[in-house]
């Protein structure tokens, strides 16, 4: 009797990394204090009370129980478009917005819209592992541009240009970056968009952590002011971090109406529509919670400062990049894998991180630290714990 098989593209995927590293943390015996989980990027504070009320009201409504528009609730598309238009000083309209179930789904649908089996999408290395596995399970080849610590893990334009081969359909970048925290300056983003336009490929720009740019950053970039931006730019966003609702799975795509239509055709087969209750709640929350979100931005900046101060000269541990939610931390152990060091930190010191090796080859000297998960007071205790595995 022949056994049925799994799709080999799925069977070959790596296991989800977050549960693996959190299992190491469960083996920690508490000797140095409570477990400090710096693995998954989740807000380290609760939603604003009004957000919870809006969610409860929407979830309990009859209207939210039915299917909604595939592209998203009209109110959310309009309010999010107006928010982006003000942020970027650009003419972004509701017809440019497609709402998705989280930013991961936004990336899945964008990748499917621009590439197919046998095509390739270019990413940076270190890369966000869910982007990599998404492409692998779709039969789209992930290709890489190596980023270096001496460049603050930003790609060199000439390296990107050299990596664009005829089968590349898009360049996918994340800023502020996951995993490194690196923030792409507006000039580099403009150069990358121009390069993609010149080569006839898409630029997929994931700005999940846009609302946590350093204080004083007024506008992330000018890409949406480019007259031809709709020809080859796809913007991705997550409401999870800014509104503290990752469990409600809500993201967005900003693109041309033609691309929104293409994604709607995909979405109709994937999920029909994003969850309606959080859409209704976020549409109500975008304007009223602006000040609250800005306070959270200041809090995350405070935590970043606390981490910098704590690790300054901390027994050979070095912050090679930091920004928004993440830091890329270089460990001091020659010849030791990042997986081994991350596991030791979790089991022996009660600090859960993600090994750099999970974000691509050549990253074994680093660990990803999701510092936004912990308060500044907790972050100041890290040097003492790091000494436990010296």
pLDDT, mean of residues 55-82: 96
Asked if 251 contacts 101 with a C-beta cutoff of 8 angstroms, the reply is yes
Mean pLDDT across the chain: 95
Q: What b/e string do you get for 321-338 counting C-beta neighbours within 10 Å, with b at 16 or more?
A: bbbbbbbbbbbeeeeeeb
What is residue 15's predicted lDDT score, i.e. its pLDDT? 82
Place of tokens 């499917």: 112
Q: What is the DSSP letter of 214?
A: P
pLDDT, mean of residues 232-241: 97
Tokens of 229: 């931006």
Residue 40 has pLDDT above 90, yes or no: no
First-residue to last-residue Cα distance in the chain: 55
Identify each DSSP E strand in the chain by its residue range.
Answer: 36-37, 97-100, 120-125, 141-146, 168-174, 202-206, 233-238, 251-254, 318-323, 326-330, 351-352, 354-355, 366-370
Asked if 88 contacts 224 with a C-beta cutoff of 8 angstroms, the reply is yes
Residue 227 has pLDDT above 90, yes or no: yes
Residue 41 pLDDT grade (very low, low, confident, very high; cuts 50, 70, 90): confident
Interatomic CA distance for residues 74 and 243, integer angstroms: 19
Interatomic CA distance for residues 174 and 106, integer angstroms: 13
Residue 231 pLDDT grade (very low, low, confident, very high; cuts 50, 70, 90): very high
**Whole-structure pTM value:** 0.95
Q: Is 66 left (phi over 0), alpha (psi -120 to 50) or beta?
A: beta
Residue 14 pLDDT grade (very low, low, confident, very high; cuts 50, 70, 90): confident
Give percent of the chain with pLDDT exceeding 90: 89
Residue 101 has pLDDT above 80, yes or no: yes
């Amino acid at each position: 009797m022949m056994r049925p098989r799994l799709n080999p593209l799925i069977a070959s995927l790596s296991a989800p990394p977050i549960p693996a590293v959190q299992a190491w943390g469960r083996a920690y015996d508490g000797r140095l204090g409570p477990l400090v989980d710096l693995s998954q990027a989740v807000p380290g504070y609760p939603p604003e009370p009004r957000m919870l009320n809006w969610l409860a009201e929407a979830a309990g409504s009859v209207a939210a129980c039915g299917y909604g528009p595939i592209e998203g609730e009209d109110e959310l598309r309009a309010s999010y478009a107006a928010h982006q238009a003000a942020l970027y000083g650009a003419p972004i309209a509701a017809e440019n917005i497609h709402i998705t179930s989280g930013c991961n789904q936004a990336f899945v649908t964008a990748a499917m819209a621009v590439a197919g089996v046998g095509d390739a999408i270019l990413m940076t290395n270190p890369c966000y592992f869910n982007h990599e596995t998404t492409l692998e399970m779709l039969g789209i080849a992930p290709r890489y541009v190596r980023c270096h610590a001496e460049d603050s893990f930003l790609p060199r334009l000439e390296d990107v240009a050299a990596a664009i081969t005829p089968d590349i359909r898009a360049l996918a970048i994340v800023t502020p970056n996951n995993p490194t925290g690196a923030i792409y300056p507006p000039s580099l983003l403009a150069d990358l968009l121009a390069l993609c336009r010149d080569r006839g490929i898409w630029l997929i720009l994931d700005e999940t952590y846009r609302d946590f740019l350093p204080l004083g950053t007024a506008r992330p970039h000018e890409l949406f002011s480019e007259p031809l931006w709709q020809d080859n730019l796809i913007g991705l966003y997550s409401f999870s971090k800014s509104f503290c609702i990752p469990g409600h799975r809500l993201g967005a795509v900003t693109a041309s109406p033609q691309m929104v239509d293409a994604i709607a055709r995909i979405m109709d087969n994937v999920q029909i529509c994003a969850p309606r209750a959080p859409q209704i709640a976020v549409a109500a929350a975008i304007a009223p919670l602006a000040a609250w979100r800005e306070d959270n931005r200041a809090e995350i900046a405070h935590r970043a400062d606390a981490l910098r101060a704590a690790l300054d000269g901390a027994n050979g541990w070095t912050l090679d990049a930091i920004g928004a939610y993440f830091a890329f931390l270089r460990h001091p152990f020659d010849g030791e894998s990042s997986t081994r060091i991350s596991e030791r930190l979790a089991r022996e010191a009660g600090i859960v991180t993600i090994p750099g090796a999970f974000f691509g080859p050549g990253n074994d000297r680093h660990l990803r630290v999701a510092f936004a998960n912990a308060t500044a007071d907790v972050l100041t205790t890290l040097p003492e714990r790091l000494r436990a595995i010296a």
